[in-house]
Structure 1
Amino acid sequence: MMHDNFTSPDFYEIDDLLSEEHKLIRESTRQWVSKSVCPIIEDYAQKSEFPKHLIKELGEIGAFGPYIPEKYGGAGLDQISYGIMMQEIERGDSGIRSTASVQSSLVMYPLWKFGSEDQKLRFLPKLATGQIMGCFGLTEPDHGSNPGGMITNFKDDGDHIILNGSKMWISNSPFADIAIVWAKDENKRIHGVIVERGMEGFTTPETHNKWSLRASSTGELIFDNVRVPKENILPGKSGLGAPLMCLDSARYGISWGAIGIAMDCYNIALKYSLERVQFGKPIAAKQLQQKKLAEMLTEITKAQLLSWKLGKLKNDDKASSAQISLAKRNNVDMAANIVRESRQILGGMGITGDFSIMRHMMNLESVITYEGTHDIHLLILGNEITGHNAF
């Protein structure tokens, strides 16, 4: 069953489950990735540089907060539409998808869900177009999988607060105009705070020497007695549950993005196996190569159906955190296995920059770690199954 390299595989005719709007969104995103991302991304990854000129284009295709209501600059699309966009963007590169994910799920989402009306109107329309960019500060040097132990804190100072602490492994931070920062008040309660570029004592040093997500901008957030107006505190929700809700939104998008990587690598491996001749015939005619391809297709199909169903649950506001953890864990692991098998099919050619496989492989080492590690999601599921917290 042969298909165009950029649209296959769809072995179970999942297209039949999608609306015409979903298909239009997928096609327009695919065209943009094919035209604007694929031709340049290897060079930017080699340079370890984020292609900032893509920010405006991401805004133009609606990749920033597509499910945010139109009143606030979004497109008012459903969750499956968001997932499809993340899938297609990650076929190009995880770093570009991460930029869109952070802007959508970790910056715009908390502003929409927990922000005041003034905060929503002030920031969301500009974030939707990419006029301003944001980042999300939760992880700290000593508190990654245990975010509740954070030490970043603020003290009351009249109509301001004084913020101190640091965050690390923050996507978009070196160029972000605002940061949604999670910090404890004097009663140890966690709140979201909008910190703006230019506030005295706020710096964002860039992280260098990365082997993964090289075309994504990563850095730290440093707060040294930063005076933040109290009007910049998100009023809608406090406690650790607030940032975890944001992570659920991001993890959902990641589950779709991982499918995009797997699809890209499967298509590359299939095409190469049909063209590469050894011992007088294409290597696709060999049993072991067919085994690899058949298993790849099976796992991709399972992941496609899993994320589609999760999208339906999210549309109906029925998706649980544990269900999202299952999808993120399963699909990223699936993609990592397919990348490795694809690399083997290509042999030595698979390690070169002529193909996207090794870039995807390195990127997945970050994707499998951030927004909850592979093992943390396992424990979330274990807790859901048994009722016993093993953390």
Structure 2
Amino acid sequence: MLSELDRILETSAFSDKGSGWLFSEDPMILHVTSDLMVLFAFVLVPAFLLYFVRRHPRSAQRRALPHLLAFILIFGIAHTCLMITLWNPLPTFYWPAQVFAVAMVLLAFSVAWFTLPKILKLPSPAKLRAANRALANEVEKHSRTSRALTLIQEKQRENLSLRAREIENKTAELERANESLRRFAHIASHDLQEPLRKIAAYADILEEAIAEKDAEEASRAMERLRAMSSQARIMVSDLLRFSKMSQYQPVREPIDLQAAVEEIAEIFEQTISGRSGSLEISLPALCVHADPLLLRQIFQNILANAVKYVPQTRAPRIIVKAKEGEDNWKITIEDNGIGFDPALKSKIFEPFTRLHGRKIADGSGIGLAIVYRAVHAMEWAIDVETQLDIGTTFCLWIPKRDLRREDEAPEEETTAARASP
């Protein structure tokens, strides 16, 4: 056995590889240079593979790298042995070169068996591009969904904010209504008690006059009882009218404004002419879309107020006219009455509020409150200008959507006409 091993390891039969080229310088230089370059490549490639594993420690192909590294390193060692045997035919390098060659074959099969399937699992560039496009589409889809959710959240926040403002406005309006109701109840109770007290007092006077058979005193007491009863009846009637205004649902229909105001003015014609006064209505041909009842309440109460507060020593002079603005029409009702203190302007539309005593003019103080509610129900605006002892001017602003010249076509008809060929 040992003799056979000695025979195999015997190097006398070996010759160096350089003798085959007669140690010619050019082939040997070319051979050594090519082996050195292959060795350098087999050292550089494992370095790249190790760097890849270090940068991607969780790569799915890292288990295949030891086979590749062993294959490349053995290949490099084999080339080094072949390069050495160029000058020295030592069995130390001849046999390892052959063993390494067999090892390379085995490693090649190992690489093919273990590594190739894993390498084949790597997606192609086309698949990677498709996956990237699908991922980009998915990201864009999620981005659109996120933007939509953001818009919905913003809209919900706006709705909540709007709802909160509406609740605040409703709460404030309710508080104002409650305060107005408390003030209304207090004033109404006070004003209703006054005629009732007088009725009770004159009833006692009437009873005493009848007992004493004083016909003249009894007649005077009856006259005052009728007056107080009439005043109480008017006050209750005005109170009912005012309370109904809060529940009234207005309707809108086209009305000739000039004709409507002239019809209302006829109520006061006899009173005004009897005092040598005048009521001038100077309105253009206007068609107003309004509730007939509310329109009548507005002008009737303002005109009644104008006639009532003109002193008996002065002839009433009332002027109704209109002026066109950019977005509305301004209707003014001007009188030459006693006016009132401008500092009390904020109270003139409050119910049961009288800025003058009963000696100057009688009334329940409800007329202008009805005017204000009617104007508010029509979504119009009203204001008052006054000069003490000179006169008062009520200004009513009616939007052009509700008031236009009779020779003008409705806005929707005009738009349709422009759109038609």
TM-score by length of 2: 0.20
Higher relative contact order (CA 8 A, sep 6+): 1
* Structure number, greater radius of gyration: 2
* Structure with greater proportional helix content: 2
